[in-house]
Amino acid sequence: MLALGIVLNIVGLGFFCWVLFTLAIYALPFFVGMTAGLYAQGAGYGPLGAIGVGIVAAAFVLVIGQGVFSFVRTPILRIAVALIFAVPAALAGYYATFGLSGLTMTSDLWRQVFAVIGAVAIGGTAWTRLAASPPDMPSGSGRPALS
């Protein structure tokens, strides 16, 4: 029974890490949506209005970010947009790794080391997923469009 518990804990931690890496790109829209929702709650919109405002703000940031990223052809601007999405992902990765490492170790120095490694890994993954995608090709062409 103990072995089953250990295996299930490893599977659960692996699933959580997979979800964290997969959803890291959406950290910026989540932060913007949460901020807009909290502002709307403070302004008196009520709970349902604040949730609605937060969802609309998050969707707006996601659509605008993806639209700008897909229409911009210059590699420098594409990297800049990817970094705008990757920095909040790295911040979220830092705090998620710091929290998870607090469950297993007591040394604050090692918690910081693992948190920085987690931030670099998750931020790098988010940046790679956005920046590594090739620019869109015009229809009927076998080559990327020149700027």
Digit-coded pLDDT (tens) for 31-42: 999 999 999 999
7-21, 51-65, 89-103, 131-145 — which is least confidently predicted? 131-145
pTM over 0.85: no
> Do 65 and 85 form a contact (C-beta atoms < 8 A)?
yes
* 101 vs 122: CA distance, rounded Å: 15
Tokens of 92: 């979220």
For the chain, the domains span 24-131
pLDDT attached to residue 139: 54
Q: Give 54's pLDDT tier (boundaries 50, 70, 90).
A: very high
> Do 95 and 38 form a contact (C-beta atoms < 8 A)?
no
> Do 33 and 54 form a contact (C-beta atoms < 8 A)?
yes
Q: What integer best gives the mean pLDDT of the chain?
A: 84
Number of Cβ within a 10 Å radius of residue 71: 10
Residue 144: pLDDT over 60: no
